[in-house]
Structures are given as C-alpha cells and as structure tokens.
C-alpha cells in the first residue's frame, strides 16, 4: 500500500446545521458512526471516519454545523469547524438542496478560498421532492468548484462523489491502520449514542442544554459490557423532566440507548444512567472541554 500513486488525506464535511453532514458520513462509510437527529445542531465534536478505497484512504471529518451564536458552547463548536477546515486536504461544502445557498455557505467558501483548499459543493437530500424542484447547480458557489448531488437515504450519487474526492487527494501513504474505523474510543461513541436518545425522546430545546458524561466503560466481564453515565442538566426542573413521572422517561432513554450500543458493539450491555444537575456547564469553557466538546 506504500507504492507510488497511493492517495490519502483528511476530508472536511462542512456546512450549516442540518445540512446532512452526519447522514452523508454514515452513508459513505456504510455504517453508523455519527449520531443523526431531525433536530439541527446535533453534532458537537469532530468525528473521524476512515474509509479505505482502491489506491486511497479517505479520512472523513464530520463537524458541527457552523452558525452564528455568542454562547460559549456554540463558540467552541465553531472553533471545531475552523480547525477541521484548516487541517483538511479537501473540503466538502454541503448544501441542503431545498434550502439553497446561505450566508453561512458564503462565509465557509471564503475561508476555504483563503486557505487555498480544494473543495467540492455537495447538494444533499436530492431524494426529497422539494429538492428536485430547486435550482441545481448552485449559481452562487465558486465557479471552479465541482458540484455533485447526492442522497444519503437512497445512496445515490455516492460513487461519483468518492471518485471526485480521491481525484482531489494528495499522494500519501496510508495515515491509519487498515482495520481502523475512527480515532474515537468506544467510551466516547457510547456517550454519543446516549445523547442521540436524548434528542429523539426529549422535546424541543432540552437536549441542547444537556451533556452526557460517561464515567465507566468496562468490557472485562464475560457476559456484558458495563457502562455508567451521568446525564447533565442545568436546573432541577430539567432533571424532573428527564427522570419523568415514576422514572418513566429515564427508563425509555436507557432502553433506547442500550439497544443502540448493543447493535454497535455486538454484545450485551448493562447501562446505568443518572441525571445530575451541573449548573452553568454550558457557560464554563473548562467543563465544555472536559466533556469533549472542543
């Protein structure tokens, strides 16, 4: 694999919230690595997904949706986007075809041009009826950049996109081992699966005020992996909602999370969840970093 002509490099998935970055990552990898929710701004960290190709190794980096906000957590998420853009060899700028080009796209495009970064404009969700009626290609996108349309749901357009990515990658030996899928530990991935359950089962804004702190990940037992995690909220009133009447909601969260983790690891899981009030964690830069949102 170290012969002449082999290509490898980091490919940034960039765009506003809910552009379909995590769904596209999972579709390209052929597995569920990043959590997905209908709610925008679910991704909070850089997520590396490693895809081997004939003569190439593509290192996808999923990112939070870039957005305007002065909140400490959101500033940290935008910093992640900027860092990934700087560290990439190729950028994919995702545009929800039904929503079109936005001010956020313009900001990202300008930054990529200043970095001299090769980029591909990717129209997402092309399977949706309203997307098919929207103009394509996008006139506002920088003219030198290729524009490709895909659907993560129907998996259409993925092969041409992968071919275009490999074409843009620099020559390099593989940067990770053949059997590696990501650089994230299982402990962190389990925390993400629990957080996905929060977005699916809790209403409105509450999941955005929450974090998951995995305190225990023990796979030494022969029968089951034992996981313990705190669900962090800011106020007692939020804790009551997450616990639910008679513990009904925390039980639902636990069941959904456990099943998702078992599907991922292929083993029985014993999951203990506790709801903890951690006032002001959203405004505490040190706490945000401790939780891995940086």
Residue range 221-251, pLDDT digits in tens: 889 999 999 999 999 999 999 999 999 999 9
Whether residue 55 is found in the same domain as residue 151: yes
Tally of structural domains, the chain: 2
Query: Could you give the CA distance from residue 12 to residue 43 in angstroms, rounded to a whole number?
Result: 14
CATH code (residue 92): 3.40.50.300
| Average pLDDT over all residues of the chain | 91
Q: Render pLDDT for 247-287 as a digit per residue (tens, 0 to 9).
A: 999 999 999 999 999 998 899 999 999 999 999 888 888 88
Question: Are 192 and 164 within one domain?
Answer: no
Residue pLDDT, tens place only, 47-85:
899 999 999 999 999 988 887 776 777 787 778 888 989
Q: Which domain holds residue 97?
A: 7-168
Give the pLDDT confidence of 179-195 residue by residue, as tens digits: 899 988 899 999 999 99
In a domain, 210, yes or no: yes
Determine contact, residues 146/162, Cβ cutoff 8 Å: no
**The predicted structure's pLDDT at residue 135:** 84
Residue bearing the bigger pLDDT, 98 or 42: 98
Output the CA angle 16-146-12, nearest 5 degrees.
Answer: 45
φ, ψ of residue 241 to 5 degrees: the values are -70, -45
Position 294 scores a pLDDT of 62
Please give the Cα distance from 47 to 202 (Å, whole number).
24
The residue ranking higher by pLDDT, 133 or 170, is 170
C-alpha span between 170 and 8 (Å, rounded): 6
Domain harbouring 231, CATH code:
3.30.300.20
Q: Characterize the bridge pairing of strands 90-96 and 56-62.
A: unpaired
Same domain, 212 and 100: no
- Same domain? 87 vs 150: yes
106/14 same-domain check: yes
């Amino acid at each position: 694999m170290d012969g002449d002509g082999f290509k490898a490099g980091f490919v940034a998935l960039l765009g506003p919230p809910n552009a379909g970055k995590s769904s596209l990552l999972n579709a390209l990898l052929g597995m569920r690595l990043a959590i997905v929710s209908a709610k925008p701004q679910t991704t909070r960290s850089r997520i590396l997904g490693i895809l081997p190709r004939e003569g190439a190794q593509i290192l996808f980096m999923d990112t939070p949706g870039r957005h305007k906000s002065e909140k400490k957590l959101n500033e940290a998420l935008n910093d992640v986007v900027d860092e990934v853009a700087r560290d990439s060899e190729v950028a994919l700028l995702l545009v929800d075809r039904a929503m079109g080009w936005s001010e956020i796209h313009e900001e990202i495009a300008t930054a990529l041009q200043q970095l001299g970064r090769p980029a591909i404009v990717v129209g997402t969700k092309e399977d949706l009826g309203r997307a098919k009626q929207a103009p394509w290609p996008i006139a506002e996108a920088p003219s030198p950049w290729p524009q490709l349309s895909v659907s993560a749901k129907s998996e259409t357009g993925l092969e041409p996109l992968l071919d275009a990515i490999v074409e843009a990658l620099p020559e390099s030996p593989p940067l990770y081992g053949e059997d590696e899928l990501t650089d994230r530990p299982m402990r962190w991935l389990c925390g993400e699966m629990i957080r996905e359950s929060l977005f699916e089962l809790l209403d409105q804004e509450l999941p955005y005020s929450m974090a998951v702190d995995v305190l225990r990940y023990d796979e030494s037992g022969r029968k089951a992996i034992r996981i313990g995690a705190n669900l962090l909220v800011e106020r007692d009133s939020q804790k009551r909602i997450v616990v639910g009447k008679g513990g009904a909601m925390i039980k639902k969260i636990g069941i959904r999370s456990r099943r998702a983790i078992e599907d991922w690891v292929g083993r029985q899981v014993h999951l203990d969840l506790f709801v903890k009030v951690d006032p002001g964690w959203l405004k505490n830069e040190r706490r945000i970093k401790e939780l891995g949102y940086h």
